[in-house]
């Protein structure tokens, strides 16, 4: 094979065009609504964990996953830093109350794996605590799965250059500056520390009963579609029959001028 052909084969795919992305996303989101009804019908309990480096695209992926389903079924959990009281608890204690009941999907935007990542790298826990967590968590997760929970773990992997570009975009764009957390810039500085922590976590916790699924996320659109498609594949489901819905006609009984009744109220100025 010529060097020219080899280079072409190794090149990353082009960024997905918006039109293609939106078409596929609409189709997958319709399938998510089918999955939602199946989860409710069967009383399934599902946990989806999203982890990854800062700026890996977790938030956008979760938004794409949840924007067309019910928040009563697909619940998002994004816990803040632990309180002084929570710091004295057994480590998993603050997460378990958020676990799903029958007919629910709980999405953790970062999870108990904080201990294997940001807490370890930034010194918020000791090395002994981090190692103890990695030793114990596979057994915790085995118990969850044995209890009937469907546990899905995604790691979004962003490249060095792309993370740098995203951070610079957050710094320069006022609409994105809220995304800059106190951990973002130190995480950029400690890229290789996070790499070592990631590899130690995967080595200890990528198990048959709770495997990790790695998602390349330099192209955010492809990553979102790949996550949703894979989640749909992991949970066997089928479309349930639905009753035909007919919109009733508006009753004219007791009719009155409902627009005149509010005409003198204070309305938002119509600037657009």
Largest distance between two CA atoms of the chain: 82
Q: Domain for residue 7, yes or no?
A: no
Judged by average pLDDT, the poorest of 60-64, 169-173, 190-194, 225-229 is 169-173
Average pLDDT, the chain: 93
* Residues facing residue 216 across a β-bridge: 157
**pTM, to two decimals:** 0.89
Q: What is the pLDDT of residues 124-142, one digit of tens each?
A: 999 999 999 999 999 999 9
Say how far apart CA 21 and CA 110 lie, in whole Å.
Answer: 25
Kindly state whether residue 4 falls inside one of the protein's structural domains.
Answer: no
Q: What is the structure's pLDDT at 12?
A: 62
Does a structural domain hold residue 135? Answer: yes
User: Is 256 domain-assigned?
Assistant: yes
Q: How confident is the model at residue 7 (pLDDT cuts 50, 70, 90)?
A: very low
Q: Sign of the CA dihedral 94, 95, 97, 98?
A: positive
Strands (E), the chain: 45-52, 74-77, 104-109, 149-157, 212-216
Tokens for 172, please give them. 């320069």
Q: Is the pLDDT of residue 10 over 80?
A: no
| Contact of 157 with 214, CB cutoff 8 Å | yes
Task: Say if residue 180's pLDDT is above 90.
Answer: no
Q: What is the CATH number of the domain that holds 239?
A: 3.40.50.300
Share of the chain above pLDDT 70, in %: 96
Three-state secondary-structure class, residue 158:
coil
Q: Is residue 111 part of a domain?
A: yes
Do 224 and 154 contact (CB within 8 A), yes or no? no
**6 within a domain of the structure (yes/no):** no
Rounded to whole angstroms, the Cα distance separating 152 from 271 reads 46
pLDDT at 157 over 50: yes
- What pLDDT digit, counting tens, does each position of 93-114 carry? 999 999 999 999 999 999 999 9
Total count of domains within the chain: 1
Say if 206 falls within a structural domain: yes
Range of the domain at 27: 13-262
CB–CB of 60/176 below 8 Å?
Answer: no
Of 12-21, 48-57, 67-76, 202-211, the least confident:
12-21
């Amino acid at each position: 094979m010529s060097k020219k052909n080899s280079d072409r084969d190794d090149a990353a795919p082009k960024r997905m065009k918006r039109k293609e992305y939106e078409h596929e996303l609409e189709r997958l989101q319709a399938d998510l609504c089918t999955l939602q009804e199946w989860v409710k019908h069967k009383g399934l309990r599902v946990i989806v964990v999203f982890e990854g480096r800062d700026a890996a695209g977790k938030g956008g992926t979760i938004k794409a996953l949840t924007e067309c389903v019910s928040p009563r079924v697909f619940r998002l959990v994004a816990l803040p830093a632990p309180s002084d009281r929570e710091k004295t608890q057994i480590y998993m204690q603050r997460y378990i109350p958020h676990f799903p009941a029958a007919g629910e999907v709980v999405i953790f935007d970062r999870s108990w794996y904080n201990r294997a990542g940001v807490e370890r790298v930034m010194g918020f826990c000791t090395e002994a605590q981090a190692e103890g967590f990695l030793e114990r968590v596979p057994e915790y997760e085995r118990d969850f799965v044995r209890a009937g929970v469907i546990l899905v773990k995604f790691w979004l992997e962003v490249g060095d250059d792309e993370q740098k570009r995203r951070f610079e975009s957050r710094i320069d764009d006022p609409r994105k500056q809220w995304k800059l957390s106190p951990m973002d810039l130190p995480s950029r500085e400690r890229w290789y520390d996070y790499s070592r922590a990631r590899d130690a976590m995967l080595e200890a916790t990528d198990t048959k009963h709770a495997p990790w699924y790695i998602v390349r996320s330099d192209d955010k659109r492809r990553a979102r579609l790949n996550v949703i498609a894979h989640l749909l594949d992991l949970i066997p489901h089928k479309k349930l029959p639905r009753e035909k819905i007919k919109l009733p006609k508006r009753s004219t009984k007791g009719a009155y001028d409902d627009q005149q009744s509010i005409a003198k109220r204070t309305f938002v100025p119509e600037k657009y």
